[in-house]
Chains A and B, each alone.
Chain A
Amino acid sequence: MSAFLQIFLGILTAMGGFVEVGELVFSVGAGAKFGYSLLWVVALGTLGIILFGEMAGRVAAVTKQPIFDWVRERAGFRMGLGTLLAANLVSLLTCAAEIGGIAIVLRMMSGWPYRLLAILTFLALLAIVWFFAFKWIERFFGLLGLLMIVFIIAAIRLRPDWHAVAGGFVPNVPAVESSKDYLVYAFFAVSLLSSIMLPYETYFYASGAIEDGWQPHEVPMNRIVVTIGFVLGSVLSVALVLIGAQLLKPLGIDPQWPGAAALGPAFTMGRVGLAVALLGMLFAFGGAAVENALTGAYNTAQFLGWPWGKWRKPAGAPRFALTWIVMLTLAVLIILAGVNPIQVVEYSIVFSVLILPLTYLPLLMAAGDKRLMGAYVNNGPTKIAGWFFLGLVTLAGLFALPLLVVTRGGKL
């Protein structure tokens, strides 16, 4: 395959896989509650995920070692086990939220019972991961997730005040009515940042780079794919904030369901817009569900030293295969137990930000290790930016749980 096509596909896949149910709910919610004023968090989070996504891909391409190999070597069994359990819990919750999100969207489309749709979703995802090769899974969900572009078109058609939109990219605290609203603003800022910088994205990206057999000479390509793909993906997040701000805020709608976002395309493009938006959500959530199930298996196998990888048939990496099957099964059981998927989203986002520092520290240390990385070691600016974001997510992590409790999940 030509290098150009490879880069093009990579960018589309990164973009299509950027938004999942948590990011959708928090982006639209941020717009509906605070207008454009949280856009700077989207920009900041995008910079962070580009920085650490690039680092994860580079370390994997150069050392052929994925993240949980590092976690195990650097932190040892005892500390590393804590990180593994926390990371897999977050991936499980995220996977459950995505399956719930898919069932909600399917119910909107078909009117069938929610639990039946959750089971059908589970079976479809199981079959896709079992039979498809890694590359095709990646492209199937990534490319069909591009239907989400309809949200960008809807946001433009809603004719936002572009001057005010630009102002939202400058860090600011909006004028709000009470001090409680400041807490809700802080909760949304932390959650939005976390939903964009979800840790599974770096685990999955690094494992995927090894699955695809990246070599050190592909490091520059990795940089282009990550930067352009994630920036385009974040345009989608911005569009969701704009839809929340333009359409839902004036109507006083507090979007508690993923379907609320689809009002944007439905309002501007009618039935076709609605249908494309719902399909886009299906594939975007489906991709995230699969990535989280596989991430749980990658992490576990890499930490315990098992054979792993989708490039092996299930019989060649049996415990790896069993682990992603268990992840999908537990996730659907959480949804079948009747837990509200949006509540699961909130918890998964908040726990994500708690484990972000545990993910980024070993990555930063590995990428900055000259003996290991040779010519591909972190340069000065990357090092400074890396430590800045590590400090930022640590700070966000400290405040995440208290803010969740005090604001009752932003519903104060």
Chain B
Amino acid sequence: MKPADLRQRPPFFDVVRMLMDHQLLDADYVECGKVDDVEIEITDDGTLRATAIFTGPGAAFDHLPGWMAAIAKKFFGKRSKRIPWPEIALIESRIKLRSTSEALGLDPADRSAARWIAKLPGAK
């Protein structure tokens, strides 16, 4: 389903069921995180509109109880990335983005780990 179709389908779009915690795929169909949060805005006519999604440990940890979130952020960082709505190409069970994860600045840890691991024999 394309985002444009969603907008033409009033009155409801179940954000929690169709977006939250779903897998993100980048332009090359490589996994690049989960939808950890959704940004919603109230338009002038009072309707709600999803404007962006968030991915990254920082956004995910916000779903934990306060003290746990604080500990988790201390250990694993509070990095999270805002992905504007037009970047979404397709919403199915997995959510496809228009750009590569590198272009979006997602998963920097994966790329630095890959550089390190690639030096080992048999890693490539």
Contact = CB atoms under 8 A, between A and B. Distances in A.
B64 interface: yes
A400 to B, nearest CB: 26
B63 A76 contact: yes
Interface in A302-339: 304-308, 313-316, 318-319, 321-322
Interface string A74-92: 0011101100000000000
Interface string A38-75: 00000000000000000000000001010001001100
A58 to B, nearest CB: 16
Contact of B63 (A77, A308, A319): A77
Most buried by A among B21, B94, B113, B122: B21
B109 A319 contact: yes
B123 A73 contact: no
Nearest to A77: B63
Given A314-B123, A319-B109, A78 B63 contact: yes
Contacts of A80: 21
Contact of B113 (A301, A305, A319): A319
Given A69-B23, A77-B21, A318-B114, A304 B124 contact: no
A131 B122 CA distance: 6
Contacts of B122: 130-131, 313-314
Most buried by B among A73, A305, A308, A321: A305
A124 to B, nearest CB: 15
B82 to A, nearest CB: 16
B21 A63 contact: no
A405 B113 CA distance: 43
Nearest to B17: A73
A214 B82 CA distance: 34
Most buried by B among A81, A306, A318: A318
Most buried by B among A307, A308, A322: A307
A72 B55 CA distance: 14
B24 interface: yes
Contacts of B93: 63, 65, 372
B64 A77 contact: yes
A213 to B, nearest CB: 14
A131 B120 CA distance: 11
Interface in B40-75: 55, 60, 63-65
Contacts, number: 69
A322 B120 CA distance: 12
B32 interface: yes
B96 interface: no
Contact of A314 (B23, B63, B120): B120
Contacts of B117: 314-315, 318, 321-322
Chain A interface size, under 10 / 10 to 19 / 20 to 34 / 35 or more = 20 to 34
A32 B93 CA distance: 50
B118 A77 contact: no
B35 to A, nearest CB: 9
B108 to A, nearest CB: 12
Interface in B13-49: 20-24, 30-34, 36
Nearest to B57: A304
A127 to B, nearest CB: 9
Given A308-B31, A313-B123, A315-B124, A81 B110 contact: no
Interface in B75-124: 93-94, 107, 109-110, 113-114, 116-118, 120, 122-124
B60 A319 contact: no
B46 to A, nearest CB: 28
B63 A305 contact: no
Contacts of B94: 65
A77 B60 contact: yes
A62 B29 CA distance: 18
B21 A76 contact: yes
Given A73-B21, A76-B20, A77-B63, A318 B33 contact: no
Contacts of B30: 307
A322 B110 CA distance: 10
A335 B34 CA distance: 35
A319 B124 contact: no
A69 B57 CA distance: 17
A77 B22 CA distance: 11
A65 B23 CA distance: 10
11 contacts: A69-B23, A72-B21, A77-B21, A77-B36, A130-B122, A305-B31, A306-B107, A307-B32, A314-B117, A315-B114, A315-B124
Interface of B: 20-24, 30-34, 36, 55, 60, 63-65, 93-94, 107, 109-110, 113-114, 116-118, 120, 122-124
Given A76-B21, A306-B33, A319-B110, 8 more contacts: A69-B23, A76-B20, A306-B31, A307-B30, A307-B31, A307-B32, A315-B123, A318-B113
Can you list the 4 inter-chain pairs with the closest CB atoms, starting with the nearest? Answer: A318-B113, A305-B34, A315-B118, A305-B33
